[in-house]
A and B are shown apart, each in its own frame.
Chain A
Amino acid sequence: MSKFKKKRGKASPAISTASLPDIIFMLLFFFMVVTVLRDSEKKVDVVTPSASELTKLEKKSLVHYMYVGRPVEKFRATYGTKPRLQLGDKFAEFTEIPLFIEQHKSKLREADQPKIITSLRIDGDVTMGIVTDIKTALRKANQLKVNYSAKPMVR
């Protein structure tokens, strides 16, 4: 009997929690790496022009992005050098814009759906032809709140 008791007492020390911080640090690093990766997957070169009358976009969940610019070096062989539109992480045609907007809307509550903003990140050297086409597509899709993304400029 005494033997039994002794054994039990020795086997019950608390499980070491020393590795818990390591696990959580791993999570931390994972999140940090993932956030950077998702944003940097750009297929077109965009250098936004600068402007002074800027509005800050407060609610990130209401904003979706469209990129316009020349394809980056490694895609030039397949897509050429003409300015292209990028939706999400792939090249897209103007006809895909309404679907892209609907997809964004479907993620939001109904009350928030009319508040969505399209942020256009357009390269400064692109000509207005493609921009006009996108604007027309947006108007046809009844998405009228548009933000021309720009760098701050001091007057």
Chain B
Amino acid sequence: MGKTSTRDRMSNEVNAGSMADIAFLLLIFFLVTTTIAEDKGVLVKLPSWSEEPPETQKLNTRNVYSVLVNADNQLLVRGELMDIDDLLENTKLFISNPRNESDKAEDPKKAIISLKNDRGTKYKTYLAVYNELKAAYNDLRNDEAERKYSKRFDDLTPDRQKEIRSAIPLVISEAEPTNFGEEG
């Protein structure tokens, strides 16, 4: 009698103890893998704040690439209207100066991009312009990495990346924006 009862118990109840482990595994898996909407963006480093006005530097105009964006989201590059689609190529030409022209940068190290916008400029346009300028530098660094080490810039060792970065430093100087077209 006693023996049959134990057998009954065994066939009636499946051991559910391991279910907990399975559920735990799931829980931990989700906790580890769920990322709250991964974030990507254009990384910039702002200049540090100082109360005194910055020292005025005398720069050779051939080394300065001035980009102005007005409240109507139009682009004025070195005094001439430009379409945003042409900005990347022109910026690259300015920095690298492959034909050694007298109106473009003497050396990538000396090139300075001066970016100025209006308080009424759309953020979308501003970011698009900034993106093009950064893309120009990234392209040039990639070309340099390709030429020297026949590798992409991102695949280089940190030392070599640093070397190329100092050969083609990213200098984007942002001026205090004008205020002509801010919405009320």
Contact = CB atoms under 8 A, between A and B. Distances in A.
Give chain A's interface residue range (CB within 8 Å of chain B): 35 or more
A145 interface: yes
B46 A135 contact: yes
B49 A139 contact: yes
Contact of A146 (B9, B44, B181): B44
A45 B124 CA distance: 15
Interface in B131-173: 131, 134-135, 138
Contacts of B13: 16
B40 A152 contact: yes
A149 B41 contact: yes
A99 interface: no
Interface in A80-123: 117, 119-120, 122-123
Interface string A30-43: 01100100110000
Interface of B: 9, 13, 16-17, 19-20, 22-24, 26-27, 30-31, 34-49, 117-124, 126-128, 130-131, 134-135, 138, 177, 179, 181-183
Interface of A: 13, 16-18, 20-21, 24-25, 27-28, 31-32, 35, 38-39, 48-49, 51-57, 60, 63, 65, 117, 119-120, 122-129, 131-132, 135-136, 138-140, 142, 144-152, 155
